[in-house]
């Protein structure tokens, strides 16, 4: 696949001025910066592309060289001083970012453990008010037998002979940009800087073992279904004493048939009879704290909304709560005993309303029209 053009990376024309280059870079950098896109490798890779493109095009000499010869003009000819170089944008990234990493790192540090995920189910009330939950997980933890060193008792890890304890293998490349040190991870010590000649029998040299554990998690009030909590340092232990990774807790809020959730507001239904709607009544409605009596005013129409302030879900990032909205549904009876039917007919006659005769169905109405 062809490498992307540096002007295309920044989204500018080849005739772009210095100010246009600067504006394009700032816009792209804000959009793709790793701080704004945590755990998004694609955004990080594009951020590096944008940074390298601007570093080249904002320098008049480098820009002229690039416009004339392309990437090869910046990095050198394929097959000359850099075996395996293909003159691609990836090598340019490695030159910039690899050099920075090699300069910054002075010694190896134990790599952090990987990330892990767990799913926790909550009731709607727990999501609304918060909850303290105990999570049972089985993750790699530090090996107690060797103190997480990976070495058997009485022995210790030694400095890696390949990387000299740095955890990296470095090589220097020469280009028109100057000398650039490129660092690659040391595969022998797995970037720890040490090797274990006599591994611990319990953890087999890793310095960690899998074990069940219980974690206390405080779920904040106001979370929604699908929310994720990021617990740094509570994930799997790192190799040979490396810091623990991150545990991601995915929250699933169970369906509550009594309510519909709309953000921090809740919707519930109060079913009333025609008589209650017409004459008014005190009816019981569900709330997160238990059933409560509300007043249905005389003459309430179907679909009327009653609002109970501050009775919904707690605001996740703020004070107070949402509202509980009660929708009044008028339920018409489908079966009537003789007394109830007689009373309803008497009411209809009193109000001058036409109703079907007793036991009149569809066929009897059709016959009466002939």
DSSP string, 80-141: SSSTT----HHHHHIIIIIHHHHHH--S--PPPPPPEEEEEEE-HHHHHH-EEEEEEEEEEE
**pLDDT tens-digit profile of 313-341?**
999 987 899 999 999 999 999 899 999 99
- Does residue 10 sit in the same domain as residue 82? yes
In a domain, 358, yes or no: yes
Q: What is the pLDDT of residue 104?
A: 37
Mean pLDDT of 118-140: 95
- Whether the pLDDT of residue 311 is over 90: the answer is yes
Pick the range with the lowest mean pLDDT from 10-19, 35-44, 258-267: 35-44
Is the domain of 88 the same as that of 65?
A: yes
Domain match, 20 and 69 both: yes
Range of the domain at 345: 341-370
Q: Which residue has the tokens 């694609």?
A: 42
In the predicted model, is pLDDT for residue 183 greater than 80? Answer: no
Q: Are 313 and 306 within 8 A, CB to CB?
A: no
> β-strands 281-285, 292-296: how paired?
antiparallel
Residue 195 domain flag: no
Structure tokens that stand for 106 in this block? 């002075």
Residue 61 lies in a domain: yes
Give me the pLDDT at residue 285, please.
97
Instruction: Single out the residue of 97, 76, 98 nearest to residue 85, CA to CA.
Output: 76
Work out whether the CA dihedral 133, 139, 144, 145 comes out positive or negative.
positive
Q: What is the mean pLDDT of the chain?
A: 83
Region 270-292: mean pLDDT is 96
Least confident range from 18-22, 28-32, 72-76, 83-87: namely 83-87
Q: How far apart are CA 251 and CA 117, in angstroms?
A: 11
Q: What is the mean pLDDT of residues 200-208?
A: 93
Confidence (pLDDT) at 85? 32
Q: How many structural domains does the chain have? A: 3
User: 359 and 298, same structural domain?
Assistant: no
* pLDDT tens profile 144-169: 999 998 999 889 888 899 988 888 88
Q: Pick from 154, 242, 150, 115: which is nearest to 191 by CA?
A: 242
Say what the pLDDT of residue 231 is.
92
Are 66 and 100 within one domain? Answer: yes
Task: Tell me the C-alpha to C-alpha distance, in Å, between residue 176 and each of 6, 71, 76, 143.
Answer: 18, 11, 7, 50
Residues 272 and 358 in one domain: no
Q: What is the pLDDT of residue 99?
A: 39
Which residues 6+ apart lie within 8 Å of 211 measured at CB? 138, 139, 140, 141
Q: Are 147 and 202 in contact (CB under 8 A)?
A: no
Single pTM value for the model: 0.61
| Burial annotation 116-133 (CB, 10 A radius, 16+ → b, else e) | bebebebebebbbbbbee
In a domain, 152, yes or no: no
Q: CA distances (Å), 258 to each of 255, 268, 323, 327, in order?
A: 9, 6, 15, 12
Dihedral over alpha carbons 148, 152, 158, 162 (to 10 degrees) = -90
CATH assignment at residue 293: 2.60.260.20
Residue 285 is assigned to a structural domain of this protein: yes
The pLDDT value given to residue 75: 53
From CA 148, how far away is CA 238, in angstroms rounded? 9
Examine residue 290 and state whether it is found in any structural domain, yes or no.
yes
pLDDT (average), residues 81-89:
36
């Amino acid at each position: 696949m062809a490498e992307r053009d540096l002007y295309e990376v920044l989204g500018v024309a080849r005739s772009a001025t210095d100010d246009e280059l600067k504006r394009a870079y700032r816009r792209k950098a804000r959009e793709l910066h790793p701080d704004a896109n945590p755990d998004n490798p694609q955004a990080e890779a594009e951020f590096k592309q944008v940074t390298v493109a601007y570093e080249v095009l904002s320098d008049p000499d480098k820009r002229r060289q690039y416009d004339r010869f392309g990437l090869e003009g910046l990095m050198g000819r394929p097959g000359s001083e850099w075996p395996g170089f293909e003159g691609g944008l990836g090598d340019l990234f490695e030159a910039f970012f690899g050099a920075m990493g090699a300069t910054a790192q002075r010694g190896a540090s134990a790599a952090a453990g990987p990330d892990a995920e767990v799913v926790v189910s909550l009731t709607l009330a727990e999501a609304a008010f918060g909850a303290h939950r105990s999570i049972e997980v089985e993750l790699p933890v530090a090996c107690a037998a060797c103190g997480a060193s990976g070495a058997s008792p009485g022995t210790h890890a030694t400095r890696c002979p390949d990387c000299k304890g740095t955890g990296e293998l470095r090589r220097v490349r020469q280009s028109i940009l100057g000398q650039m040190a490129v660092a690659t991870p040391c595969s022998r010590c797995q970037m720890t800087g040490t090797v274990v000649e006599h591994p611990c029998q319990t953890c087999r040299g890793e310095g960690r073992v899998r074990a069940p554990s219980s974690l206390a998690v405080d779920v904040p009030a106001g979370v929604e279904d699908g929310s994720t909590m990021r617990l740094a340092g509570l994930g799997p232990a790192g190799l040979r004493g490396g810091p623990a990774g991150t545990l991601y807790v995915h929250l699933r809020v169970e369906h509550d048939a009594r309510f519909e959730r709309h953000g921090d507001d809740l919707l519930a239904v109060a079913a009333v009879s025609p008589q209650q709607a017409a004459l008014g009544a005190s009816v019981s409605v569900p709330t997160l704290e238990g059933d409560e009596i509300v007043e249905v005013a005389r003459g309430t129409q179907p679909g009327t909304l009653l609002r109970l302030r501050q009775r919904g879900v707690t605001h996740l990032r703020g004070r107070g709560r949402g509202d509980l909205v009660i929708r009044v549904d008028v339920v018409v009876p489908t079966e009537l005993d003789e007394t109830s039917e007689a009373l309803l007919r008497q009411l209809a006659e009193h109000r001058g309303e036409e109703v079907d005769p007793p036991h009149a169905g569809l066929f009897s109405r059709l016959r009466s029209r002939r």
